[in-house]
Amino acid sequence: MYRSYVMICGSENCSSIPGHEHLYNEFQNQIKAAGLEKEVMVLTGSCLGICHEGVGPNVAIFPEGSIYTGVKPEDVAEIVYEHLLKDNRVTRLLFDETVTIGNARSVEDTEFYKKQCRIAMRNCGIIDPKNIKEYIAKDGYQSLYKVLTEMTPDEVIDVVLASGLRGRGGAGFPTGRKWKFASGNRGKVQKYVCCNADEGDPGAFMDRSVLEGDPHSVIEAMAIAAYAIGSDHGYVYVRAEYPEAVEHLEIAIAQAKEYGLLGKNIFGTEFNFELEIKLGAGAFVCGEETALMTSIEGKRGEPRPRPPFPASKGLFSVPTILNNVETYANIPPIILKGAEWFSSIGVPSSTGTKVFALGGKIRNTGLVEVPMGTTLRTIVEDIGGGIPNGRSFKAAQTGGPSGGCIPASLIDTPVDFDSLSKIGAMMGSGGLIVMDDSTCMVDIAKFFLEFIVEESCGKCTPCRVGTKRLLELLTKITDGKGTMEDLNRIEELASFMKDNSLCALGQTAANPVLSTIKYFRDEYIEHIENKHCPAGVCKNLLTYHIDPKLCRGCTACAKACPVHAIVGTVKNPHAIDTSKCIKCGSCIEKCRFGAIERK
């Protein structure tokens, strides 16, 4: 039994930082030099959710609960000597408020954590994901044992139904209902259980972090789902760009087989379950369930018409259920603690918690898990720490490229499935991008639409052609060539795409455009009528000017200009030839006197 555990973040975000590979060895060496090798254990864990430091890996020391951020190999000796030997804290490296005078506070007391509730991420950063014994020590596989020895398959489904758990992959369909639809004819037909770990939204890494930090929770949940519907085979579809997640999952599957938790006669029962990993090539459309299953079958990943739905005719044309990583991660604690416990968290229509990848113009970026119904203000201001650099909150985009933008006027909106739907946004898989008042909302809509155009599979005309026409109209507006009639065309085309696209990706592709038109119509009008971008973002609508009263004639701007558009002599005011200016901004970056303005 060790008195302290040093947990080094091993997520892709941290492990890609130079020097990370030396941290583990340096801790081992310094602990041995201090004579603490029998008292302190060093482990590599997963993401604790704190990603905003970005200058080095995070290191947590348990059971004290201290978190050091941006740790470099040269910091290790000081941490070992001060913290582990002398019980002091290295305050210059401590995260946020994890220290008080004399003693470390619990991490849960910090502003970042105290309004969170970790269920799906309960073990991430706490256990060694490559050691099944640590998962078992955290009640791992007790839920599987319980369902196999104490519950019938229908009772399992009833518990999931009663919990109110809805799919965390985007659509929010009740998980128990999906399982119930696929549960008929148990033992008479082949069935499959699939996990969607394809996670294609820009900036989203929730599922990756769970697979990296707690892969056994997904394996256990898939086995429970298989028992509930009468399946003996499962697939985890994970993108190949997640090598750390794939490696940890492979190790976990091998360990589960070694311990008899996968394979034949699990826990001495007649239940059998095998699990395979299928690597995806990163196509965004393969996040759609029928496209994912088509890809597993070895075909081009394209969606299929529904009905029939996968619960009756899915993978290899047999009944199949598909849930994403986060959905599965909730299953073991629901079985162990009961449906009433889970449904008491969140709001009646959206129970439990939701994990968000918080990014953009906000102080604390990273992963956060909050009870459903938590307001956007709480996430942005309390957990996220607000907007940096003295800027103000303008909007938040939820739901990935197919989501909607929520304006500052609606910052007190509860974040749950129904509340977001009412204001034209959506939960999606959990991306949450924060924007400040320097953001151009027309440009944001264009950015997400460019992604959709690039990722459209092209199978159906409304999506393949419609997204391109939408992008052309937005580009026309940001170039200063738009008309008010173009806004009507955008809304008409978006409505057609919603009604006629084959899959949900095409049906929701116009959401960022429609939500920005709804809440920021004045910006579109400013672009169209005054040929002006209020945020100063759209390059073709910008002009650069040098204030002769402020210009010192230092020539720095002229030297920086790549097209020689700035003229003037030394110690005399300069001027910009707007016919030559390519609006690259190099002159503003070089000017030390604030003489150049962009309008």
Question: How confident is the model over 253-274, as pLDDT tens digits?
Answer: 999 999 999 999 999 999 999 9
Question: At residue 243, does pLDDT exceed 50?
Answer: yes
Query: Among 67, 51, 32, 243, which Cα is nearest to 24's?
Result: 32
Q: How far apart are CA 362 and CA 380, in angstroms?
A: 7
The DSSP-derived string for 338-353 is -HHHHHTSEETTEESE
Vertex 158 angle, CA 153 and 164, to 5°: 135
Question: At residue 104, does pLDDT exceed 50?
Answer: no
Q: Binning pLDDT at 50, 70 and 90, where does residue 169 land?
A: confident
What is the residue type of 12? E
Domain boundaries, the chain: 4-99, 132-343, 346-439, 442-529, 543-598
What is the residue type of 598? R
pLDDT value at position 117? 94
pLDDT value at position 393? 97
Longest distance between any two alpha carbons in the chain, whole Å: 89
Q: Among 85-94, 148-157, 250-259, 470-479, name the one with the lowest average pLDDT.
A: 85-94
Question: At residue 225, does pLDDT exceed 70?
Answer: yes
pLDDT value at position 257? 98
Q: How far apart are CA 432 and CA 51, in angstroms?
A: 14
Phi, psi of 175 (to 5 degrees): -65, -45
Question: Average pLDDT in the 339-344 region?
Answer: 98
Phi, psi of 413 (to 5 degrees): -65, 130
Question: Average pLDDT in the 324-329 region?
Answer: 97
Contact 353, 368 (CB under 8 A): no
Q: What is the CATH number of domain 4-99?
A: 3.40.30.10
pLDDT value at position 15? 54
pLDDT value at position 113? 83
Query: Among 123, 99, 119, which Cα is nearest to 109's?
Result: 99
Vertex 340 angle, CA 334 and 346, to 5°: 85
Tens digit of pLDDT for each residue in 383-392? 999 999 999 9
- Mean residue pLDDT across the chain: 90
For 295, the enclosing helix (H) or strand (E) is helix 289-296
Q: Binning pLDDT at 50, 70 and 90, where does residue 137 land?
A: very high
Contact 27, 21 (CB under 8 A): no
Question: At residue 100, does pLDDT exceed 50?
Answer: no
The DSSP-derived string for 375-419 is BHHIIIIIIS---STT--EEEEEESGGGSEEEEGGGTT-B-SHHH
Q: Among 11-20, 47-56, 189-198, name the one with the lowest average pLDDT.
A: 11-20
Other C-beta atoms closer than 10 Å to the C-beta of 153 total: 18
Of the candidate CATH numbers 3.40.50.880, 3.90.480.20, 3.10.20.600, 3.30.420.40, the domain formed by 346-439 belongs to 3.10.20.600
Strands 233-239 and 274-280: parallel
pLDDT value at position 55? 57
4-99 and 543-598, same CATH topology: no
Contact 426, 448 (CB under 8 A): no
Prior bond of 63 cis (ω within 30°): yes
Tens digit of pLDDT for each residue in 406-441? 999 999 999 999 999 999 888 888 889 999 999 999
Contact 296, 315 (CB under 8 A): yes
What top-level class would CATH report for the domain 543-598?
alpha beta
Q: How far apart are CA 568 and CA 549, in angstroms?
A: 14
For 59, the enclosing helix (H) or strand (E) is strand 59-62
For 434, the enclosing helix (H) or strand (E) is strand 431-436
Q: How far apart are CA 103 and CA 508, in angstroms?
A: 51
Q: What is the CATH number of domain 442-529?
A: 1.20.1440.230
For residue 234, count CB atoms less than 10 angstroms from its CB and return exposed for 0-12, middle for 13-18, buried for 19 or more.
buried
Tens digit of pLDDT for each residue in 26-82? 999 999 999 998 899 888 777 777 765 455 688 888 887 788 888 888 999 999 999
Assign a CATH topology to domain 132-343: Rossmann fold (3.40.50)
